[in-house]
Structure 1
């Protein structure tokens, strides 16, 4: 699998086009707990 990077605007920063969003991981927005977040992270890492 090849990771594709894209330039951020007119900066010299580049980011990968595949990301794992974890904004709500702390449970502040939907009541999820840390254990559920850790299970999701482990599943993502196991999947490659």
Structure 2
């Protein structure tokens, strides 16, 4: 589903930076996405 939203331009993948915290989680195992304003019309295409 995320791939579909990416292709439609409704979300984008946010690059991760090290948080400087405990370093228990690897950035390669996490993905954060952000909604792109104005690209959600509420209709299926």
TM-score (norm 1): 0.29
TM-score (norm 2): 0.29
